[in-house]
């Protein structure tokens, strides 16, 4: 669980910086972006990660390259799902076609998956080195 928390922190910081500078083209958008990103990553990202881990165990995919792509695709789908949920709760619209927010949701969730994957890989290499 500590890996998920650290990955959520890393994702929140990286995504906030990237979204403010690349998507909004304004460094003053970092605080408003962070006010949305941090709660969403912790409230939706960590539970989605737990569900994705259970799905991966049910699918019995080993840690091959194909399994990583399946896992990242599941994270992308979770990002779309969270974005749909956000549109529904905030704007009352269940689906907003053509919105760039879906790209941001997918980018944030895939970034979370990559951070979590990197942390787990680092932990495995440290365990193997100590053995």
Q: Which two tokens stand for residue 49?
A: 């990660």
What pLDDT score was predicted for residue 94? 66
Domain boundaries, the chain: 2-130
Q: Which two tokens stand for residue 77?
A: 């789908």
What pLDDT score was predicted for residue 76? 93
Rounded Cα–Cα distance for residues 66 and 46 (Å):
23
Rounded Cα–Cα distance for residues 9 and 14 (Å):
9
pLDDT tens for 1-22 read 788 899 888 988 888 888 888 8
Q: 99-104 contacts: CB < 8 A, separation 24 or more?
A: 100/23, 104/19, 104/23
What pLDDT score was predicted for residue 50? 92
Contact 43, 21 (CB under 8 A): no
pLDDT tens for 33-81 read 888 888 888 888 889 999 998 998 888 776 677 888 888 999 999 998 8
The larger pLDDT score, comparing residue 126 to residue 63, is at 126
Q: Which two tokens stand for residue 112?
A: 């979370």
pLDDT tens for 86-120 read 878 777 776 666 677 888 888 989 999 999 989 98
Helix (H, G, I), strand (E, B) or coil at 15: helix
Q: Which two tokens stand for residue 19?
A: 């979204």
């Amino acid at each position: 669980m500590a890996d998920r928390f650290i990955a959520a922190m890393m994702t929140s910081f990286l995504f906030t910086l990237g979204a403010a500078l690349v998507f909004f083209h304004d460094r003053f958008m970092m605080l408003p972006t962070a006010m949305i990103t941090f709660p969403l990553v912790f409230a939706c990202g960590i539970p989605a990660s737990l569900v994705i881990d259970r799905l991966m165990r049910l699918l019995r995919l080993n840690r091959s390259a194909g399994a990583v792509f399946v896992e990242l695709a599941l994270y992308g789908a979770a990002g779309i799902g969270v974005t749909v949920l956000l549109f529904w709760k905030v704007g009352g619209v269940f689906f907003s076609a053509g919105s760039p927010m879906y790209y941001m949701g997918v980018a944030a969730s895939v970034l979370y998956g990559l951070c979590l994957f990197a942390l787990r890989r680092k932990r495995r290499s440290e365990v193997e080195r100590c053995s």
